[in-house]
Structure 1
Amino acid sequence: MTVRLRAHHLLCMLTYVGKGYSAAFTDNYDAIVERLSGGEDILLVAGPDDICRPLLGEDGAHCLNASVVERDALAAAAVGGLLGRPLGPGQRIALDPAVLARMREAFRQGTTRRACSECEWLDLCSRVSAGGFTGTKLVCPG
């Protein structure tokens, strides 16, 4: 199977420690991280993805906002630059320990975080990153 992710979630997954918008959201995110940790690859999509699913039934779901689409574009450019290839909808990414470590180090250094500037989770992610990603749920099979 494949996990469908929008580009900015490539950054969010790096610092995910089990916090989110609701219990349904975090339960869903936990299941997705478990799938990724089990070796499933990522298919980049435009718009709402597997992580967004629990939020889509809410009035004014932010997943559809133009600011989130812009966040996706910035994240795709940053992560694509890091991985040395253009990223966009339809592209696949296979996580392995080396890729995850490169992505986390770039995030920690701030080189891939332009997409995060207006995010409500910025402070939490900054603390997780500064703490060496302790307590994060995503691990890679290796």
Structure 2
Amino acid sequence: MNKILRPHHGMCFQFYEGKGYSEDFTDHMGRIIYEMEEDPAQMITLKVETDIVCKNCPNNESGICTSQEKVRKYDNEVLKACGISNGTEIKYQDFISTVKTKIIDTGLRAEICGDCGWNYICDKFNKA
């Protein structure tokens, strides 16, 4: 069975530096990224819903994101920019490459999620 991934996490993964809501969250996020990068050809399913990353997030209350409106907007904007539909099955490496090419390299990232609380991390990488 494919791992479920929220589309906006395709951006987060590319800027992740070990910071997060809690130690449990950062340990979990680090493990997920490691597992994905160890097998980049694995198939994932992109869905606008809580995913494997959300498991240890404090905004996840019984499988429902308390920031749902905001992150759903991020997810839908990522899908739109990448020309992908909700529910698409895709190789992890292809998805990450598409996000980099169509969003990060073109400067769209800040337009999509510039109001995110972690934006300062991504901005730092973009300016480096």
TM-score by shorter chain over 0.5:
yes
Question: Deviation at 1:57?
Answer: 4.4
Q: Determine if contact 1:5/1:49 at 8 Å carries over to the other structure.
A: yes
* 1:27 aligned partner: 27
Pairwise CA RMSD? 2.5
Cα shift readout 1:60-110 (whole Å, capped 9, x = no counterpart): 9534x2122112111111122xxxxx321x2122133x7645533541441
Cα shift readout 1:25-69 (whole Å, capped 9, x = no counterpart): 1111111101111123321122111111112249x9534x21221
* 1:103 aligned partner: 99
- Where relative contact order (Cα < 8 A, 6+ residues apart) is larger, the structure is 1
**Corresponding position: 1:4 with 2:1:** no
Aligned partner (choices 112, 123, 126) of residue 126 of structure 1? 123
Write the letter of the residue equivalent to 1:114.
Answer: E
Write the letter of the residue equivalent to 1:42.
Answer: I
**Other structure's SS at 2:92 match:** coil
Unaligned runs of 5+ in 2: none
* 1:47 aligned partner: 49
**Other structure's SS at 1:4 match:** strand
Aligned partner (choices 113, 117, 124) of residue 116 of structure 1? 113
Cα shift readout 1:105-138 (whole Å, capped 9, x = no counterpart): 541441344221211111111112333xxxxxxx
* CA distance, structure 1, for counterparts of residue 110 and residue 85 of structure 2: 16
Q: Determine if contact 2:4/2:44 at 8 Å carries over to the other structure.
A: yes
Q: TM-score, normalised by structure 1?
A: 0.71
* CA distance, structure 2, for counterparts of residue 113 and residue 92 of structure 1: 26
* CA distance, structure 2, for counterparts of residue 127 and residue 120 of structure 1: 13
* CA distance, structure 1, for counterparts of residue 54 and residue 96 of structure 2: 22
* 1:140 aligned partner: none
Distance 1:16 1:41, change over 3 A: farther
Write the letter of the residue equivalent to 1:49.
Answer: D
Write the letter of the residue equivalent to 1:16.
Answer: Y
Q: How many residues are aligned here?
A: 122
